[in-house]
Amino acid sequence: MAAAPQRDVGPKSKRAVLVHRARDELIQYLAVSTYLAVCFGALIFFKAAVLGSEGIEYQRFGLALAKALILGKFVLVLERLNIGNRVKSTGVLFADVLVKALLFTTLLLVLTVAEEVIVGHLNGQSVRDVLKGFAGGTMPEVLATVVLMFLVLVPYFAYRELAAALGEATFSQLLFKRQRLKRAQRPQRR
């Protein structure tokens, strides 16, 4: 599809375009961050419940929000860089979702480690000390964190891929507008 011809846009129009784009990006950021905050909050609630049953107090709900805000920005930046779109499509939507989720899980892990190392450095910690405490500090906890991140990203990318395949407006209408759905009839048993 050919791009619309560029016309000279006045200062007010340029400002309006920038405001509109900033608003759209803020809405996307809040949507992604809210989704991640709900997922991370549920995981921390579960961890707190399990530890609480053993008499160990654990309440780090602020951590869920902080991580969601950071990772939400990382996700949007990676999407703006078309990172997931550079991988050749398999033609199977489910496989494409899994590939993108795996790619983004890997990249988010790398970016999170880099963020932790930078914050640790600013707080006077060595890289070794930061990595020892990363994601709980033990290999099973690190692997569990990676698996959970992957599982959180699968529905996110399923949503994104379905919206792209069906069209954003059609997909939103299917999800959020009341409508009469046709249900497939079950075969009669004899």
Distance, in Å, from the CA atom of 136 to the CA atom of 139, rounded to the nearest integer, reads: 8
Section 74-93 average pLDDT: 84
Residue with the larger pLDDT of the pair 19 and 57: 19
> What average pLDDT does range 76-105 have in this prediction?
86
Confidence of residue 55 (pLDDT cuts 50, 70, 90): confident
Mean of the per-residue pLDDT values of the chain: 84
The whole-number average pLDDT for the span 96-118 is 90
pLDDT for the residue 157:
92
How confident is the model at residue 168, as a pLDDT? 87
Mean pLDDT over 1-24 rounds to 71
| Nearest C-alpha neighbor of 94 from the set 83, 102, 106 | 102
The first and second tokens of residue 113, run together, are 């480690």
| pLDDT of 136 above 70 | no
DSSP 3-state of 62? helix
The amino acid that residue 28 corresponds to is Q
pTM (two decimals): 0.75
pLDDT of 189: 67
**Cβ atoms of residues 62 and 51 within 8 Å:** no
- For the ranges 10-14, 102-106, 150-154, 185-189, the lowest mean pLDDT is seen at 185-189
Angle, CA 115 vertex, CA 110 and CA 119 arms, to 5°: 150
